[in-house]
Amino acid sequence: MLKLLRPDDWHLHLRDGDRLVHTVFHTAQQFGRALIMPNLKPPVVTLAQAEAYRQRILAATPAGSSFQPMMVLYLTDNSDPREAAQVAASNTVLSYKLYPAGATTNSEHGVTAIEKVYPVLEQMEKHGVPLCVHGEETDSHVDIFDREKAFIDNTLLPTLKRFPGLKVVFEHITTKDAADFVRDSEHNIAATITAHHLLYNRNAIFQGGIRPHYYCLPVLKREVHRQALLAAAISGNPRFFLGTDSAPHAVGAKESSCGCAGCYTAHAAIELYAEAFESVNALDKLEGFASLFGADFYGVERPTEIITLEKSDWTVPATYPFGNEQIVPLRALETLRFRMVGAA
């Protein structure tokens, strides 16, 4: 039996509409709070839109749950620098998200050149508002496995040189380069790490055939990178913390000749992380990573509730409902060794 302070998910996609009841259900079972990504269609760009989305999420939250969605604004070339001060004053909107235009799902309204948002970044630095970053180079000539490293060199380093006090969360890091970069950075740079990047390398996408449910962005990398992420996650360094990047797409959109990027892990997120930490005998490091470090970085209260995980095998269902469609979760029809059994 393993008891943990109730974890928070610092990178989550819930989508919208009739899908919310299904996605919120899974996350609210496990997490006290989650940082909700704003890449809807159309994206969440204003405080008013974020508040309206937050209310839709709360309306879809199961009765009796105290789950709190924390919101993010989608940064665009046209974001108003004056809004940064209002974000700093908000208790429910915590950060901005940088999607380089074209980098990932619903990023077409993203930033076309980082210089265009310098006035916003200046205000964010001034007011202490964190920037969450999808860190991949968008130049299609750059090899897809090298895009995270190229982003560090071409975008992140010059931006931090110009705004050295800007708080940055390098989201869903996938390489040793990114882990080393964050480890060797100043205290204002942190990173989230997904469960799937801790558990799998790029072979998973091609195991006996093409496996669309293991395709996400940034794409899974070589084993050496997975090892580096695992080392960072269990290091006890408080600038590495949990963000699932659980990213649901209906089964038809994944199992397609041009399938969407994203792995759905919210149904068993903490169990998947526990499995990864146990694989290197580091379950004692899970609570800091999952429940403390993210709250500290964002400057919100640490959790007080406790959840309990048990060592007991269970089989993940083939699908879960997703609005009026279905979603295939990670590890569908396979066995998981941990199971969350309660909260108090």
Ligand X SMILES: NC(=O)N[C@@H](CC(=O)O)C(=O)O
Which residue positions form the known binding site for substrate? 13-15, 39, 134, 217, 249, 261
Q: Which is nearer to ligand X, 39 or 188 (CB)?
A: 39
Please choose, from the candidates 339, 338, 333, 340, the residue with its C-alpha nearest in 3D space to the C-alpha of residue 316.
Answer: 333
Residues numbered 57-116 forming contacts with ligand X, rule: CB under 6 A: 104-105
Please choose, from the candidates 36, 11, 30, 84, the residue with its C-alpha nearest in 3D space to the C-alpha of residue 267.
Answer: 30
| Contact partners, residue 304, CB within 8 Å, separation at least 6 | 5, 6
Least distance (Å) between residue 300 CB and Zn ion: 20
Binding residues for Zn(2+): 11, 13, 97, 134, 172, 245
Least distance (Å) between residue 66 CB and ligand X: 26
Please choose, from the candidates 288, 292, 287, 337, the residue with its C-alpha nearest in 3D space to the C-alpha of residue 307.
Answer: 287
Please choose, from the candidates 65, 67, 63, 62, the residue with its C-alpha nearest in 3D space to the C-alpha of residue 21.
Answer: 62
Give one DSSP letter per residue of 170-209, joined into a string. Answer: E-S--SHHHHHHHHTS-TTEEEEE-HHHHH--GGGGGTTS
Beta bridge partners of 81: none
Binding test (CB under 6 A) with ligand X, winner from 7, 69, 243, 262: 262
Helix spans in 11-141 (H): 20-30, 47-59, 83-89, 118-127
Least distance (Å) between residue 313 CB and ligand X: 28
Contact between 217 and ligand X per CB under 6 A: yes
8 given a catalytic annotation: no
Encoding tokens for residue 168?
């940055």
Q: Which is nearer to Zn ion, 69 or 283 (CB)?
A: 69
Contact between 213 and ligand X per CB under 6 A: no
Q: Which is nearer to ligand X, 13 or 109 (CB)?
A: 13
Contact between 245 and ligand X per CB under 6 A: yes
Please choose, from the candidates 111, 88, 91, the residue with its C-alpha nearest in 3D space to the C-alpha of residue 99.
Answer: 111
From 18, 245, 284, 313, the catalytic residue: 245
Contact between 134 and ligand X per CB under 6 A: yes
Least distance (Å) between residue 271 CB and Zn ion: 20
Q: Which is nearer to ligand X, 14 or 129 (CB)?
A: 14
Q: Decide which of ligand X, Zn ion, none touches 216; Cβ closer than 5 to 8 Å per partner kind.
A: ligand X
CB 35 within 8 A of CB 94: yes
- Binding residues (CB under 6 A) for ligand X: these are 13, 39, 104-105, 134, 216-217, 245, 247, 261-262
Instruction: Give the catalytic positions in this structure.
Output: 245
